[in-house]
Amino acid sequence: MKSAVIVFPGSNCDRDAATALERFTGARPDMVWHKEPGLPEGLDLVVVPGGFSYGDYLRCGAMAANSPIVPALKAHAGRGGYVLGICNGFQVLTETRLLPGALIRNASLNFVCRPQALCVESADSAFTSAYAGHSEISIPVAHHDGNYVADTVTLDRLEGEGRVLFRYLGNPNGSARDIAGIISENGRVLGMMPHPERAIGGHEGGADGGGLFESLLAAA
């Protein structure tokens, strides 16, 4: 699987994502600076990592969504390439409209950083095939603006189309319907607030994030 990680000013999980990808694919991903006009040829997966792109100025992910690399990211998704947006990356994907809804300030108004129990809602996706459906896993969260919101029509559509892949068990941020991760209509773009790259069986104290990378490797 050929992969790339987009790096913005303020990204702080880009190297974690690269480590996870190299561990599971055996190949180091391309690290693509956000001002590049295009992505490398032949990519299977592009990761938009966590962090604080542009210092979260204006609105989380809003400035990054207007970076020069974004048209190439959209073109990659439009061709059916896989895209994984983690935490700030999820915020970027909603700002680019590759995914619906928005991420706003946590309901508690506090930064949340802890291992978080999740339910894998479906194993029938390129991102979750290595898990058992409706299984419970633990993935770290670390965010201040992880409260997923959308209008009722959008939420009902996501539920009806099986596009909610991860749901919080013990909601840490007030997200509508406990949503922790959603996919695009074509099933190729995933945005999630929890950090699977921080749970791959190294020194982190958990390995439940590995299933996501195993799933992507099998799909690619």
As annotated, the active-site residues are 87, 195, 197
Helix, strand, coil tally for the chain in percent (to 5): 30, 25, 45
Region of 26 (left: φ > 0; alpha: ψ -120 to 50; beta: rest) is: left
Going from the C-alpha of 204 to that of each of 135, 141, 191, the distances in angstroms are: 21, 13, 22
What is the four-CA torsion angle of 26, 200, 181, 124, rounded to 10 degrees?
60
Beta bridge partners of 78: none
What is the four-CA torsion angle of 128, 133, 137, 140, rounded to 10 degrees?
40
Contact indicator for 154, 101 with CB cutoff of 8 Å:
yes
Quote the tokens at residue 3: 């992969």
Contact indicator for 17, 24 with CB cutoff of 8 Å:
no
